[in-house]
Amino acid sequence: MSEDDKERTVELHYEGGVLKLPVHTGTEGERTIELKALLGSTGMTTLDPGFGNTASCSSKITYIDGDAGILRYRGYPIEDLAAGATFLEVAHLVIYGELPDAGRLKEFADKLRANADIPADMGTLIDAMPRNGHPMALLASAVNTLAAYYDDSVDPGDEDQVELATIRLLAKLPTIAARIYRNSIGEKPISPDDSLDYVDNFIRMTFGDVHADSELGDLFNKAVGMLLVLHADHELNCSTATVRVVGSAKADIYASVASGINALSGPSHGGANQAVLEMLEQIRDSGISLEEFLERVKAREMRLMGFGHRVYKNFDPRSKEIKELAGQILDRDENPDELFALALKLEAAALADSYFTERKLYPNVDFYTGVIYRTMGFPTNMFTVLFALGRLPGWIAHYREQLHDPDFRIARPRQHYVGSPERRLPGRD
C-alpha cells in the first residue's frame, strides 16, 4: 500500500463495532476496498454472486473501463495494437510486459517455430479422439496431455520450466487446433512450415494452400491476426479467472490453461461466437422477422447472443474493429455472406429498441467475429477454438503474474450457507 493509500479508509459499522478498511487506488484512479481483515475482525464474509464487485487480485496486465469503452494491454490502447502490432508482438507484450525489439522478436518467433511440432504419439492420440466431437473438448483434452508429454516443464516453482511451458503452449496450440479441424473433415494433418509466420502457418496447417497468394487470402491473414490481438487478454474474465484459480493450487500451467479452455467453451463466454452464428442461421431459416425475434428475446425466451457484457456498458471497443474488418472482407468477397447483412440489420434493430439501450446491451466482441470465420471456411464449432488461440497469451500472463504476487494464496472463496440446520437420521436420536 502506498503512503497515500494509508490515509484512505472506509468505515464498516456493524453490531460489534466499527472496522476501518483500507482503500487502494489503482493506476487510473479506480478504488478498491481491502477486505483482508473482515472475517477475522467481524466474523462476517461478503456475498457477491458472480464476483461482480470483487477484485480477487492486483494485476498489471490489462486495463478496462467498461463505461468509457476502453481496453488497454500493458497501457497500450487496443485500437493502436490492432492497427500497428502483430499477434506475436502483442503476445510478447502481454506475457513479458513490453513490446519486443526486432532482435527479441526474432528470438521469440524462432523459439516458437522450433517448438511447433507435436510428438508423433500425441498426434496419434488426437487422431483417435472422436472426429465429430466438439473441438473445444478435444483441444482441452490435448492441452491437458501436454503435461504428460513434457513433464520437464510442469513445476510452477521453477521459472525456467514455466518459460519452457510458455513457449511450448504458444508454439503447439495452433498445430493442435489445425489437426483437430483437419480430422473433423477427414483430411490428413499438415505439418508446421517454419518459413511462415505464426498466423500464416496456422492458416496453412488448417486449410492447406486454399487461401495462399490471393487478395482475399491476405485479408484473411490480416483478419485472423487482428482477431487474435483483440482477444489476447481481457483481465479477470471467466476463463482467465479459472486459469488463476486452478493455478493457485500450484497446478501446472498446462492443466491451468486446459481449464481455461473448458471455461471458455461455455456459451455465456467464448462459446457465444458460435451461438451468434447459430442464432443468425435460425433467424434466416425460420423466416421469422427481426421484430418478432427481438420480441421473443424481450419475453426472455432467449438471449440476443453477441450482445451484452458484464463489464462494457457502453460499447465493446473490440466490436468496432471487428465490424470494420468484416465489412472489408465482405466487400472483396464475390459471394458475400448473407448472414453479415442479417447481423447488420439485427444490430440496428436492437439498438433502436429501448429494451436494449436501457439495459446498456451493445454488440460485444463475438457479434461479428463468427461472420469473418465463416467466410474463411471455418465451421461454427471451430470459432471458440480461434478465441482460445487468441486468449492464450492472456491466460499465460495471468498464470505467471500470479506466481510472483506477494499476496499469492490458494483461491478459496467462502459461501453463505442457507441449507438445512443440523438434523438426525430418522430413528437414530
**Residue with smaller CB distance to ligand ACO, 304 or 385:** 304
373 binds ligand ACO (CB under 6 A): no
377: left (phi over 0), alpha (psi -120 to 50) or beta: left
Nearer to ligand ACO, 189 or 308 (CB): 308
Which of 309, 316, 337, 398 is labelled catalytic? 309
Q: How many angstroms separate the CA atoms of 80 and 62, rounded? A: 14
d(CA 404, CA 6): 23
* Nearest-5° Cα angle at 109, 104 to 112: 130
Active-site annotation holds for 80? no
The amino acid that residue 49 corresponds to is P
Q: Is 309 labeled as catalytic in the residue annotation?
A: yes
Rounded least distance, CB 110 to ligand ACO, Å: 32
CB of 74 to ligand ACO, least distance (A): 20
Per CB under 6 A, does 308 bind ligand ACO? yes
Strand 31-33 versus strand 62-65 pairing type: unpaired
From 67-75, 152-160, 263-271, 331-339, give the range in contact with ligand ACO by CB under 6 A.
Answer: 263-271
Supply the minimum distance, in Å, between the C-beta of residue 349 and ligand ACO. 13
Output the CA angle 186-188-193, nearest 5 degrees.
140
What's the min distance (Å) between Cβ of 312 and ligand ACO? 8
Q: d(Cα 362, Cα 181) in Å, to the nearest integer? A: 32
* 184 vs 259 by CB, closer to ligand ACO: 259
Residue selected from 142, 304, 325, 326 as contacting ligand ACO according to rule CB under 6 A: 304
Q: Which is nearer to ligand ACO, 201 or 364 (CB)?
A: 364
Single out the residue of 142, 229, 272, 279 in contact with ligand ACO (rule: CB under 6 A).
Answer: 272
Q: What is the DSSP string of 164-225?
A: HHHHHHHHHHHHHHHHHHHHHTT-------TTS-HHHHHHHHHHTTTTTTSHHHHHHHHHHH
Contact criterion met (CB below 8 Å) for 123 and 192: no
Least distance to ligand ACO, CB of residue 313, Å: 9
Which of residues 118 and 389 has its CB atom nearest to ligand ACO in the complex?
A: 389
Q: Does 386 bind ligand ACO (CB under 6 A)?
A: no
Is residue 306 a contact residue for ligand ACO (CB under 6 A)? yes
Residue 292 phi, psi dihedral angles, 5° rounding: -60, -45
Sheet containing 70-73, strands listed edge to edge, beginning at the edge strand earlier in sequence = 62-65, 70-73, 76-77
The residue whose Cβ lies closest to ligand ACO is 308
Asked if residue 364 binds ligand ACO (CB under 6 A), the reply is: yes
For ligand ACO, how many residues bind (rule: CB under 6 A)? 18
Q: Is 383 in the site for ligand ACO (CB under 6 A)?
A: no
268 lines the binding site for ligand ACO (CB under 6 A) = yes
**What is the distance between the alpha carbons of residues 371 and 344, in angstroms, rounded to a whole number?**
11
- Looking at the annotation, which residues are catalytic? 309, 366
Q: Which residues bind ligand ACO (CB under 6 A)?
A: 268-270, 272, 297, 303-310, 359, 361, 364-366
